[in-house]
Structure 1
Amino acid sequence: MVPARPSAGRWRGLAALAATAIVAVLAGCASSPPTPATAPRVSVPTAPPPQPPLGPLTGPLTHPKSRWVPADWSELPGVQDDAMHEAWIVLMANCQRPNAVMAPLCQELRRLSIGTPEEQRAFLLERLQPYRVEALDGQPQGLLTSYYEPVFEASRTPTSAFAVPLYQTPAGWVPRRPWFTRQQIDTLPEAQAALRGREIAWLADPVDALMLHIQGSGRLQITEADGSRRTVRLAFAGTNEQPYRSVQQWLASQGVSPIGRWPEDVKDWARQNPQRVQQMLWSNPRYVFFREEPLTELDAAFGPRGAQGVPLTAGRSIAVDRDSIPYGTPVWLATSGPVAQLSRLVVAQDTGSAILGAVRADFFAGTGAEAGRFAARMKQPLRLWALWPRGVDPSGAF
Structure 2
Amino acid sequence: MVHHTMRMSSAIAPRASSRITHMAMSFRSAARLAWPALILGALAACSSVPLDDRVPVEDKAAKAPAPPASAPSPGTALLRSRARWVAVDWNDLPGWDSDRTSELWPALMRSCEKPPFEWARLCSDARKSGASLAGDAAVRTWLQQRLSPYRVESLEGATDGLATGYFEPLVEARRTAQGPFRVPLYMTPADLATRKPWWTRQQLDTQAGVQAQLKGHELAFVADPLDALILQIQGSGRLQITEADGTRKLVRAAFAGHNDQPYKSVGKWLIEQGELKPEQASWPAIKAWARMNPKRVNELLWSNPRVVFFKEEPIPDPAAGPRGAQGVPLSPGRSIAVDAQSVPYGTPVWLDTTEPLSNTPLRRVVLAQDTGTAITGAVRADYFWGWGEQAEQQAGRMKQPLRMWVLWPRS
Change (3 A) 1:63 1:163: same
TM-score of the superposed pair, with normalisation by structure 2: 0.73
Displacement after TM superposition at 1:78 (Å): 1.2
Change (3 A) 1:181 1:60: farther
- In the alignment, the residues of structure 2 paired with residue 153 and residue 126 of structure 1 have an alpha-carbon distance, to the nearest angstrom, of 46
Displacement after TM superposition at 1:180 (Å): 5.5
Displacement after TM superposition at 1:266 (Å): 2.9
Q: Secondary structure at the match of 1:250?
A: helix
Displacement after TM superposition at 1:55 (Å): 6.7
Aligned pair count?
340
- In the alignment, the residues of structure 1 paired with residue 110 and residue 331 of structure 2 have an alpha-carbon distance, to the nearest angstrom, of 8
One-letter code aligned to 1:78: G
Q: Secondary structure at the match of 2:96?
A: coil
Displacement after TM superposition at 1:251 (Å): 1.4
- In the alignment, the residues of structure 2 paired with residue 127 and residue 334 of structure 1 have an alpha-carbon distance, to the nearest angstrom, of 22
* Aligned counterpart, 1:361: 381
- In the alignment, the residues of structure 2 paired with residue 248 and residue 340 of structure 1 have an alpha-carbon distance, to the nearest angstrom, of 26
- In the alignment, the residues of structure 2 paired with residue 139 and residue 225 of structure 1 have an alpha-carbon distance, to the nearest angstrom, of 57
One-letter code aligned to 1:354: A
Out of 324, 334, 337, the residue aligned to residue 316 of structure 1 is: 334
- In the alignment, the residues of structure 1 paired with residue 211 and residue 83 of structure 2 have an alpha-carbon distance, to the nearest angstrom, of 42
Out of 130, 145, 156, the residue aligned to residue 149 of structure 2 is: 130
Out of 257, 269, 276, the residue aligned to residue 289 of structure 2 is: 269
- In the alignment, the residues of structure 2 paired with residue 354 and residue 241 of structure 1 have an alpha-carbon distance, to the nearest angstrom, of 19
Displacement after TM superposition at 1:334 (Å): 1.0
* Aligned counterpart, 2:86: 69
Change (3 A) 1:57 1:180: farther
Change (3 A) 1:195 1:388: farther
Out of 152, 158, 162, the residue aligned to residue 139 of structure 1 is: 158
Q: Secondary structure at the match of 1:300?
A: coil
Say if 2:393 is the partner of 1:376: no
Out of 340, 345, 365, the residue aligned to residue 360 of structure 2 is: 340
Out of 382, 387, 393, the residue aligned to residue 407 of structure 2 is: 387
Say if 2:119 is the partner of 1:102: yes
- In the alignment, the residues of structure 1 paired with residue 239 and residue 209 of structure 2 have an alpha-carbon distance, to the nearest angstrom, of 28
* Aligned counterpart, 2:221: 202
Deviations 1:233-278 (A, max 9, x none): 2233444565544322321222224586965543342243334222
Out of 87, 90, 113, the residue aligned to residue 107 of structure 2 is: 90
- In the alignment, the residues of structure 1 paired with residue 327 and residue 259 of structure 2 have an alpha-carbon distance, to the nearest angstrom, of 21
Displacement after TM superposition at 1:226 (Å): 4.4
- In the alignment, the residues of structure 1 paired with residue 368 and residue 107 of structure 2 have an alpha-carbon distance, to the nearest angstrom, of 10
1:339 and 1:374 in contact (8 A); partners too: no
Change (3 A) 1:141 1:255: same
Change (3 A) 1:206 1:110: same
Deviates more, 1:122-131 or 1:65-74: 65-74
- In the alignment, the residues of structure 2 paired with residue 196 and residue 65 of structure 1 have an alpha-carbon distance, to the nearest angstrom, of 47
Displacement after TM superposition at 1:170 (Å): 3.9
Change (3 A) 1:69 1:204: same
Deviations 1:257-303 (A, max 9, x none): 4586965543342243334222212333444333212234xx11122
2:168 and 2:321 in contact (8 A); partners too: yes
2:72 and 2:148 in contact (8 A); partners too: no
- In the alignment, the residues of structure 1 paired with residue 263 and residue 380 of structure 2 have an alpha-carbon distance, to the nearest angstrom, of 17
Gap regions ≥5 residues in structure 2: 8-67
One-letter code aligned to 1:224: E
* Aligned counterpart, 2:275: 256
Change (3 A) 1:54 1:242: farther
* Aligned counterpart, 2:12: none
Displacement after TM superposition at 1:106 (Å): 1.3
Deviates more, 1:81-90 or 1:219-228: 219-228
One-letter code aligned to 1:282: W
Displacement after TM superposition at 1:86 (Å): 0.6
* Aligned counterpart, 2:23: none
Deviates more, 1:279-288 or 1:72-81: 279-288
1:164 and 1:206 in contact (8 A); partners too: yes
Q: Secondary structure at the match of 1:125?
A: helix
Q: Secondary structure at the match of 2:331?
A: coil
Out of 1, 6, 22, the residue aligned to residue 2 of structure 1 is: 6
Q: Secondary structure at the match of 2:269?
A: helix
- In the alignment, the residues of structure 2 paired with residue 186 and residue 248 of structure 1 have an alpha-carbon distance, to the nearest angstrom, of 21
* Aligned counterpart, 2:167: 148
Gap regions ≥5 residues in structure 1: 4-50, 392-398
1:132 and 1:384 in contact (8 A); partners too: yes
* Aligned counterpart, 1:293: 313
